[in-house]
Structure 1
Amino acid sequence: METIKKVLEEKRPNKWDDIPDIDLYMDQVLSYMPRQHAGLELDENLTAAMVNNYIKKGLLPRAKGKKYNREHIAYLTATCLLKQVLSVTDTGELLKARIEDGEVRDFYERYIQVMDEEFKKVSASLEETKDKAQLSEAALRLAVSSYAQKLACEQMLKELGESFKEEAEEETE
């Protein structure tokens, strides 16, 4: 329990100004990303094929030449977390809704702030116990809570998607 509490309390992506301001090749991006997302250093993987799929699905812009910049890292950082609970399509909708009228930097800084708040809440809710019944109860509560939050998020994204469609139809009239 101490390990996950420590990750939730301390592990955060680099701040915007700490992300390299030089363009990176794919292999450099893949080796950089575990610093950005706790799951990538624990047991998740990010591959070149996944990055290319995210580009095809519109989750991040195409590379400039074969190089990726700070904005790509910001998009990938958020995508790696969001895709753990949302479909790639829903992740794209959320990114589109959050970034559409703003700067990627503003979105990224807000993402880091929300992540910090939510990770600290979960960490604070974790109780130290070695009792199997208490551990299984806590795990059950976290799983059910996660599912309820996922359902609510998906509904909100559905409503956002419908409002985007309505706006697009109004613009074409």
Structure 2
Amino acid sequence: MKTLTEQMIQYRFPRWDELPQLDLYIDQVVIYLQDRLAPFDKEGSVTPTMINNYVKQKIVSPPTKKKYSREHLACFFVIFTMKRLMNISTLGTIITHMRTIYQTENAYNLFCEEMEYALKSTFEPKKFPPRAYDTSEQAELSLIRSMTATFAHMVLTDKLISLPK
């Protein structure tokens, strides 16, 4: 369990400036996401079909000349981590709303920071106490914290279930 704890508290989501600057074709997007999300994705849930479905459902904008930008990648990171928590339609509504409050870059970086802290506080709560939800804070920040904390606990549950007996 120690190596698992270390893996989770050391996991780092790529920040906006670390996402590829060049636009990617769908197969490149799939490989990029699968690689970065491997610790959380036991079913290999990143596929070209799923990405195409999110475009058709207007959860993300269509690619330009079959290429996906940084903005697409940021949305895909959020979608592919959070889709286990809620239906895609609700997730799309949340993403759209967040874009009205924050610039995409800022919203994505905030999501990354909160996700990393949620993982740390779930896997090593004595060292990283869970953050409180403060009603005086923006509702959007509390929403992100709640979503990321729920995801982190889901990851812990999955990992505990899969431990050898």
- TM-score above 0.5, yes or no: yes
Cα distance in structure 1, aligned partners of 2:17 and 2:89: 29
- Mapping 1:89-104, distance limit 5 Å: 89-104=89-104
Per the alignment, residue 71 of structure 1 pairs with: 71
Percent identity of paired positions between Structure 1 and Structure 2: 24
The CA distance in 2 between the partners of 1:111 and 1:63, in whole Å, is: 23
* Contact 1:71/1:104 (<8 A) preserved: yes
Q: Deviations over 1:126-148 (max 9, x none)?
A: 9xxxxxxxxxxxxxxxxxx959x
Pairing 1:35-114 to 2, within 5 Å after superposition: 35-37=35-37, 38-40=39-41, 42-114=42-114
Please state whether the residue corresponding to 2:124 is helix, strand or coil.
helix
- C-alpha displacement of 1:72: 0.6
1:74 alignment partner, SS class: helix
The 5-angstrom pairing of residues 1-173 of structure 1 reads 1-37=1-37, 38-40=39-41, 42-125=42-125, 146=150
Shift of 1:89: 1.1
Distance (Å, rounded) in 1 between the aligned partners of 2:98 and 2:2: 33
Structure whose residues are more often helix by fraction: 1
Deviation, 1:6, is: 2.5
Note closer, same or farther for the CA distance 1:113–1:75 as it changes in structure 2 (3 Å cut): same
Q: Verify the 8 A CA contact 1:16 1:108 in the aligned structure 2.
A: yes
What's the TM-score, normalizing by structure 1? Answer: 0.67
Q: Which whole-Å deviations, capped at 9, do the CAs of 1:17-63 have from their partners, x for residues lacking one?
A: 111100110111111002432323x4432111100111122221110
Match of 1:154 in 2: none
**CA RMSD after TM alignment:** 2.4
What is the TM-score normalised by the length of structure 2?
A: 0.70
Deviation beyond 3 Å, 4+ runs, structure 1? none
Distance 1:7 1:34, change over 3 A: farther
Q: CA deviation at 1:124?
A: 1.2
Contact map agreement 2:34 2:44 (CA 8 A) in 1: no
Superposed displacement of residue 81, structure 1: 0.7
> Per-residue deviation at 1:94?
1.4
AA at the equivalent of 1:9: I
Contact 1:13 1:35 in 2 (8 A): no
Counterpart AA for 2:9 = E
Gaps of 5+ in 2: 127-148, 155-165
Contact 1:74 1:108 in 2 (8 A): yes
Q: Tell me how far apart the structure 2 counterparts of residues 29 and 64 of structure 1 sit (CA, whole Å).
A: 14
- Give the Cα separation in 2 of the matches to 1:15 and 1:35: 15
